Copies of this chain bind each other. A is one copy, B any other.
């Protein structure tokens, strides 16, 4: 089986190298030799970490008749979508690690692929076979909920904030030095990377068709040391969670920092690692853990897709047969989300303030589950109040936060973190 690698960066080089290094076992498992016959790059002068023939002429490679599978590792959205569409129209198989392209075009690609193999295991959670587990391993289940830690950069930062009581900015800087965060980290710490992956998982579980702009995406940059202290005190950890959940026939898809009880297995996914808990109606909870990024780990998933293609496996791209009606559930509007909430308020430390706040909450249907106020520093005329609520409606919480912000005794903009589990 001849494969072309479109984009020979870290992952592309690893794919070529592993196909060579593990040729023995890959051939025995696939039933044939898998040959990387050409790589397509933009800059032929740049040094690459593998020794396959290279070209900068992608059209000549797409035109070749001797290539069985194209591995798309170009990055971007519209350009790879154009290239992949062209390849699928020629009925040639495609394997991709491109989550952004799938976040926008997965249903277009499903239509184009129909009977042509299309693998994308590497697009979610790097080396973890979560697409396979969800689409095939748990195929008997109605999925109740997916809770994923899908972004290693954010998880590294939050883990280090918790373990060393460090500040967000300091840990981010360290992550950048170690290569765990980009110079511009917005895509990772802003929740967008996790959101792309969540949309893919949401399609397999529920057939939802949303795009990134349709779902709730909040990043971690406003999580403070005070939130971390509260979490530790109340036996929670804070994680950036990607959540897909079926509620009253609609689907919630949301990415945001969340408090989760520290005994939950997903709370134990630390550092740059990824983890995904899946709740099925038959199986109950199962959890998948592993490296979410890195050349070799991502290449492991790319090659697993190649071996699946070589074996002649026929899993429908998004888990549903094209002949079947998709589950196609609608997205739940963000304001209709119901969960528990944590609120942090910076307020004047004087008589009557707490009564005003609790009155305002109760008038707006927020019921308090726990409350913490620590003795203030003597030099400080403000104090911080921490609340958690019983299950509440997102719109009620937002209204309360808006009202509180306008109260004269409230110093900073109130901050909220959703609680999960």
What residues make up the interface of A, taking CB atoms closer than 8 Å to B? 14, 18, 21-22, 25-31, 121, 127-129, 132-133, 136-142, 265, 268-269, 273, 280-291, 294, 296-297, 299-304, 306-308, 311-316, 319-321, 323-327
Contacts and interface: CB of A to CB of B under 8 A. Distances in A.
B140 A129 contact: no
A282 B299 contact: yes
18 contacts: A18-B282, A25-B327, A29-B316, A29-B321, A127-B286, A129-B136, A129-B137, A133-B137, A137-B301, A140-B306, A265-B269, A282-B299, A282-B300, A282-B303, A283-B290, A283-B296, A283-B297, A284-B297
A308 B28 CA distance: 21
A30 B287 CA distance: 24
Contact of A133 (B27, B129, B314, B325): B129
Nearest to A280: B300
B132 A22 contact: no
Copies in the complex: 2
A384 to B, nearest CB: 31
A80 to B, nearest CB: 22
Which of A140, A141, A284, A290 has the most chain B CB atoms inside 10 A of its CB? A140
B289 A284 contact: no
Contacts of A26: 139-140
A89 B333 CA distance: 55
A71 to B, nearest CB: 13
B29 A139 contact: yes
Contacts of A287: 287-290
B283 A30 contact: no
Given A284-B290, A284-B296, A313-B313, 14 more contacts: A22-B282, A28-B321, A28-B325, A30-B139, A31-B321, A31-B323, A121-B137, A127-B282, A137-B304, A284-B291, A284-B297, A287-B290, A311-B313, A313-B314
Nearest to A269: B265
B320 A142 contact: no
Contacts of A281: 21-22
A28 B320 contact: yes
A288 B291 contact: no
Nearest to A268: B268
B286 A140 contact: no
Contacts of A284: 127, 290-291, 294, 296-297
B307 A289 contact: no
A27 B324 contact: yes
A14 B141 CA distance: 12
A144 B102 CA distance: 33
Nearest to A291: B284
B132 A136 contact: yes
Given A127-B284, A282-B127, A296-B283, A28 B324 contact: yes
A304 B301 CA distance: 21
Contact of A324 (B31, B140, B141, B300): B31
B132 A137 contact: yes
Contacts of A142: 22, 25
Contacts of A306: 140
A316 to B, nearest CB: 7
